[in-house]
């Protein structure tokens, strides 16, 4: 929770233009990744350069890896020291069409809430997942490629630029089918539009969607942990807006999500344990009289 809160504080900081830092960070990091990948950088180099830029934004807002909240993650501190020297030498902005996708992706409103009780945008969610998934992976699952984890985390919801966000809590079977259909259409459009100029970025997104490796499965699993941070922060008010009106309904939907996750998440039991722990904490806040 400590690192999560510190990251939220850093990325919720308003910029000079008035928008929150997470919007700037997501656009900048995705642009860096897309251009660096296509300029003959090795994947790890492009990914690490992107993660380094994210840490640079955090530092501007007062959060560095020297902060006490990173103390439980010594492996990540070492990783951060190493990648600070990695910068793309030929960085330029992505083309206008791709930049539009990045901006639209970041602006998508989610069912989760920010600390002000407003719908959380995808930019906040994606940056938060990236900032936590890499340290967690290096500590709990060191065999994973942290660079790949970081890049998958940034793009994991990019199809929502076209498909939008569909809350899955209390969602009907037909609703899940419609969600999958919209996301398949978005993936096809993304591939068709950007394969000629950004084939490596398209491959990154496609590989994540197809869960071709352990890093993709890890990020998809960690993504299901992330909403718990916001639900805890608002004491379950957001989930009640989705029709979760009792502890029984809450745990039923928690279990249903686990069943859907089981096709990719079982190799990451620590995340599943943390998800259960967070759910217990949310229940205690949302329905204190039931305790």
Residue 88 has pLDDT above 70, yes or no: no
Asked: is 2-233 a CATH 3.20.20.480 domain? The reply is no
Q: Find out whether 21 and 10 touch, Cβ atoms under 8 Å.
A: yes
User: pTM here?
Assistant: 0.95
Q: Distance between CA atoms of 35 and 189, rounded to whole angstroms?
A: 20
Residue ranges per structural domain of the chain: 2-233
- Tens digit of pLDDT for each residue in 97-125? 999 999 999 999 998 888 888 899 999 99
Return the pLDDT at 235. 85
Return the pLDDT at 243. 86
Q: What is the DSSP letter of 115?
A: T
Return the pLDDT at 175. 82
- Tens digit of pLDDT for each residue in 220-231? 999 999 999 999
Average pLDDT of 25-30?
97
Query: What is the dihedral sign for C-alpha 2, 79, 98, 179?
Result: negative
Average pLDDT of 79-105?
85
β strands within 124-263, DSSP E? none
Residue 87 has pLDDT above 80, yes or no: no
Residue 35 has pLDDT above 70, yes or no: yes
């Amino acid at each position: 929770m400590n690192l999560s809160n510190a990251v939220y504080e850093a990325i919720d900081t308003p910029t000079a233009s008035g928008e929150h830092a997470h919007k700037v960070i997501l656009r900048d990091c995705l642009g860096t990744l897309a251009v660096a990948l296509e300029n003959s950088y090795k994947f790890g180099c492009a990914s690490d350069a992107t993660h380094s830029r994210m840490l640079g934004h955090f530092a501007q807002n007062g959060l560095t890896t020297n902060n006490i909240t990173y103390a439980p993650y010594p492996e990540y501190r070492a990783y951060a020291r190493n990648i600070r020297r990695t910068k793309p030498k030929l960085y330029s902005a992505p083309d206008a069409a791709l930049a539009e996708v990045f901006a639209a992706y970041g602006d998508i409103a989610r069912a989760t809430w920010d600390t002000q009780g407003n719908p959380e945008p995808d930019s906040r969610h994606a940056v938060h997942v990236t900032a936590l998934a890499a340290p967690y992976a290096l500590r709990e699952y060191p065999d994973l490629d942290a660079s790949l984890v970081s890049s998958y985390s940034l793009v994991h919801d990019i199809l929502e630029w076209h498909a939008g966000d569909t809350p899955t809590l209390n969602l009907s079977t037909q609703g899940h089918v419609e969600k999958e259909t919209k996301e398949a259409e978005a993936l096809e459009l993304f591939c068709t539009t950007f394969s000629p100029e950004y084939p490596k970025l398209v491959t990154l997104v496609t590989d994540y969607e197809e869960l071709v490796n352990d890093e993709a499965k890890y990020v998809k699993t960690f993504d299901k942990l992330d909403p718990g941070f916001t639900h805890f922060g608002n004491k379950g008010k957001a989930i009640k807006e989705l029709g979760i009106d009792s502890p029984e309904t809450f745990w039923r939907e928690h279990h249903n999500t686990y069943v859907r996750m089981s096709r990719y998440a079982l190799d990451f039991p620590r995340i599943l344990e943390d998800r259960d722990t967070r759910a217990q904490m949310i229940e205690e806040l949302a329905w204190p009289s039931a305790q």
